[in-house]
């Protein structure tokens, strides 16, 4: 399993404590005690072993899939920095996708910024699972830089206020 899916989904920092990753698919119960489930898969492209985004679906245990949305890596800027840094241009092999051929010392999604995907998943799931994100939302430090603490104000004579 070249995708290292558990690590990728961990990188998304989804707030659902009742979840599992099976193969390349993330399953969760966003609303404890509810009937609906969340399933997130990687979307295939026309090339073998190449994935262009995520497919997020709401599933009912008896009725099957109720709704789904495809979230492309390209539309959410997931690999914009990586592709720019490696001079990979639009409409070329490897642009905006995860594929099997990557550096062995890095995960397939190295250089990804997952904030856009995570925000899209949050907006989508808010429709089907209202309040699920507020139950236990982990920190969103991934992909963000820490800001320095503001300096103490300076008084009129140039001394620092306490």
Lowest mean pLDDT among 8-22, 91-105, 112-126, 133-147: 133-147
- Would you say 88 and 94 are in contact if contact means Cβ atoms under 8 Å apart? yes
Give the pLDDT score at 115.
95
CA-based R_g, the chain, Å: 20
Locate tokens 């800001």: which residue?
Answer: 147
Specify the 3-state DSSP secondary structure of 55: strand
Lowest mean pLDDT among 33-42, 102-111, 115-124: 102-111
Q: What are phi and psi of 15, to 5 degrees?
A: -90, 20
Q: Which residues, at least 6 apart from 49, have a Cβ–Cβ distance to it below 8 Å?
A: 2, 99, 100, 101
User: Residue 73 and residue 66: Cα distance in Å, rounded?
Assistant: 23
Q: Which region holds residue 119: left if phi is over 0, alpha if psi is between -120 and 50, else beta?
A: alpha
How many CB atoms lie under 10 A from the CB of residue 12? 18
Q: pLDDT tens digits for 47-101? A: 888 899 999 999 999 999 999 999 999 999 899 998 888 888 888 788 888 887 7
pLDDT of the residue at 52: 93
pLDDT, mean over the chain: 82
């Amino acid at each position: 399993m070249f995708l290292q899916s558990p690590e990728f989904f961990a990188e998304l920092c989804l707030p659902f404590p009742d979840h599992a990753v099976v193969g390349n698919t993330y399953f969760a119960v966003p609303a404890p005690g509810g009937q609906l489930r969340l399933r997130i898969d990687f979307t295939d492209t026309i090339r073998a072993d190449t994935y262009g985004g995520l497919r997020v679906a709401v599933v009912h245990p008896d009725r099957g899939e109720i709704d789904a949305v495809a979230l492309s890596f390209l539309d959410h800027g997931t690999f914009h920095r990586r592709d720019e840094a490696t001079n990979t241009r639009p409409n070329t092999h490897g642009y905006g996708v995860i594929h099997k051929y990557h550096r062995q010392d890095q995960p397939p999604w190295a250089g990804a910024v997952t904030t856009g995907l995570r925000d899209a998943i949050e907006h989508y799931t808010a429709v089907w699972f209202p309040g699920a994100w507020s139950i236990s939302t982990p920190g969103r430090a991934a992909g963000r830089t820490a800001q320095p603490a503001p300096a103490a104000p300076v008084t009129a004579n140039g001394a620092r206020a306490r």
